[in-house]
Amino acid sequence: MEKINIIVDETNEGTRIDTFIRDYCEELSRSRIQQLLDDGCIHVNDEVKKNKYKVKAGDEIVVEIPEVKELEAIPQDLNLDILYEDDDIIVINKPKGMVVHPGAGNPDNTLVNGLLFHCKDLSGINGILRPGIVHRIDKDTTGCIVACKNDKAHEAISKQLSNKTCSREYIAIVHGVIPHDNGTIDAPIGRDPKDRQKMVVTDKNARDAVTHFKVEERFKNYTLVSFKLETGRTHQIRVHMQYIGFPIVGDPKYSLRNTRQDTEGQVLHAKALTLVHPTTKETMTFNAPLPPYFEKLIEELRSE
C-alpha cells in the first residue's frame, strides 16, 4: 500500500479536500480520489473526512492508496451463438445486452467469459481481460463479431481492420423518413467535452470517420437503413445518424426522441462481416440473422 503524507500550508486553507488532493496528487483522477474518500482511505489529523471538508493550515493529511487488484476473466458457459469456428478464428452472433470484455461494472457474463469457456486457446495480444478480441461492438448492438485463437490470426485481422480491407455491414431502424436512397457521412468524431461517455462530430481532438448508408425500406415515421463502415470509431453509426438528424430508435445516448417501442437499447445489428482468412487467404463472409425483436418491430412498422 502506498502512503502520501501532506501538511496543508496557509495558501491552501479553505480549499475542499478533494480539490486540494487533486492539485497535490496529479496522478490521481477525481473519481479515484472520490473512491478513496468513500472508502475511508484519506485521513485528516487521524480522522476520516468527506469530500466537502475544507482543509486548514497545519492539517496533517494521509492518503492511503491500496494496490489495485488485477481483474481476471473467468470462463463461463454462456451458450454462445457460434456462426463459424476453426483453429484460427471464431465468429459469434452477439446478443443484445452482452458486453464484449470485462471491465469496471462488468466483471463477468461478457463475450470474453463465454469464449474462455468454449475455447482452449485465445490470442494474448490484448492481455488477460481481452483475449482474442480484435474489435468491439456496443453492449446493446447485436450481430457479427470475430475473435482470434492465436497471435498470428490476431495480427492478420487487426491489419485488415487497419487497412480497411475487412468489411462490416450493419442495419438499423432510425427515426424519421430519409428522403434520399443512399449517401455518405464523412465527419470526424471525437470525445464530447461535456460528457466523456459520449462521442460527437467535432474538429477538435477527433479522428476521421466515414459511414456509407443505403435506405432499405421506408415506413410512416421511420426508416430501415443499412450501413458500410470505412472506419471503426466508437459509436460511429449512432453519432453520425444523430448528426444528420435521423437518430437510431431506442438509442439511450444519442436519441432524444420518444421511442414507443421497448427496444432495450439501440435498434442496431451487425448483419455481416467479410474478411480474408489469416491462414487459407480465402475471402469469407459471415451473416448474422436479425434478432426476433428487430423482425417484430419491422412487421409492426409495416402495418402502421
**Which SS3 state, helix, strand or coil, does residue 21 take?**
helix
Q: How do the residues of the chain divide into helix, strand and coil, expressed in percent and rounded to 5?
A: 20, 30, 50
Find, among 238, 159, 161, 149, the residue nearest to 192 by Cα.
Answer: 238
Give the containing element (helix H, strand E) for 111.
Answer: helix 111-118
Q: Which residues make Cβ contacts (< 8 Å) with residue 111, sequence separation at least 6?
A: 78, 80, 92, 94, 98, 99, 100, 101, 133, 145, 147
Which position among 18, 138, 140, 251 bears the catalytic label? 138
Cα 125 to Cα 101, 133, 149: the distances in Å are 14, 9, 11
Q: Kindly write down the DSSP assignment for every residue of 215-274, as one continuous string.
A: EEEE-SSEEEEEEEESS--TTHHHHHHHHTT-PBTT-TTT--S---S--SS--EEEEEEE
Catalytic residue list contains 138: yes
| Dist CA 298 CA 296 (whole Å) | 5
| Dist CA 250 CA 200 (whole Å) | 18
| Secondary structure tally for the chain: helices H, strands E | 6, 16
Catalytic residues: 138
